[in-house]
Amino acid sequence: MQIAMVLYDRFTALDIVGPYEALSRLPDVRVDFVAESAGPVRADTGFLALTADKALADVPHPDVVVVPGGPGTFAEVENEALLEWLRTADATSTWTTSVCSGSLLLGAAGLLEGRRATSHWLTLDFLPQYGAEPTGERVVPDGKYITAAGVSSGIDMGLTLVGKIAGDEHAQAVQLLTEYDPQPPYDAGSPQKAPAHLVEEFRTNSRFSLT
């Protein structure tokens, strides 16, 4: 099984490393980090680069596609080379997935038409313009598409997908190995749970800017 992990300028690192950490522990798997050109790709903060070992063109038919989000999404929704690769890869993929605002890239490629989907809570409202029906759930499967909410939700998505591909027991083994027994020191991880003024602050002065 070949998994393509897509990188692009100003992606959010945990969006892709979360599902990678689960999916890379599938049996008989090969994971390829891909970008428009092979080489280092810098994440949104500027402090970290992940290596794309291959160019998109080198991996035309992965079994699984994982698309992260990040501030860079808003440039990539107009990147026809990436969108065309997504369409081609999706034509033969077993699973096409996204984390965070990555769902807007699946949407822009025309893959979420008529489907239930999710996104980062700050970008959920962009989904309808691609014909998708936004949901407030954290991991949203619809047929072979699985979209996940913001950033850290990719870990839940990755484990869910490991279960679908290799069975519950293998997924539990991966959860145990990655000691995924979360104990957040606060309970502010969603707009429903966080202090209202913080939610408002992000909505009016979003770090997920459109620039």
Query: What are the residue numbers of the active site?
Result: 100
Interface stretch with its own copies, choices 41-49, 60-68, 79-87, 89-97 (CB under 8 A): 41-49
155 binds its own copies (CB under 8 A): yes
**CB-based contacts of 211: which residues, under 8 Å, 6+ apart?**
74
With binding defined as CB under 8 A, does residue 202 bind its own copies?
yes
What secondary structure does DSSP assign to 111-180, as a single string?
Answer: --TT-EE---TTTGGGGGGGT-EE---SEEEETTEEEE-STTHHHHHHHHHHHHHH-HHHHHHHHHHTT-
Would you count residue 67 as binding its own copies (CB under 8 A)? no
Binding of its own copies at residue 199 (CB under 8 A)? yes
122 vs 180: CA distance, rounded Å: 26
In the complex, minimum distance from the CB of residue 68 to its own copies, in angstroms, rounded to a whole number = 12
In this complex, which beta carbon is closest to its own copies, that of residue 17 or of residue 56?
17
Least Å from the CB of residue 12 to its own copies: 7
Per-residue DSSP letter, 57: G
- Residue of the chain from 37, 49, 91, 167 that contacts its own copies (CB under 8 A): 49
Judged by beta carbon, residue 39 or residue 60, the one nearer its own copies is 39
Cβ proximity to its own copies, 20 vs 85, nearer residue? 20
Structure tokens at 20: 């990678």
CA 167 to chain centre: 21
Among 51, 92, 94, 129, binds its own copies (CB under 8 A): 51
Site of tokens 């990539």: 76
| By the rule CB under 8 A, 50 interacts with its own copies | yes
Q: Does residue 20 come out as left (phi exceeding 0), alpha (psi in the -120 to 50 range) or beta?
A: alpha
139: left (phi over 0), alpha (psi -120 to 50) or beta: beta
- 27: contact with its own copies by CB under 8 A: no
Interaction site with its own copies (CB under 8 A): 5, 12-14, 17-18, 20-21, 24-25, 30-33, 40, 45, 47-51, 53, 100, 120-121, 138-139, 149-153, 155-156, 159-160, 163, 168-169, 171-173, 175-186, 188-191, 193-195, 198-199, 201-202, 207
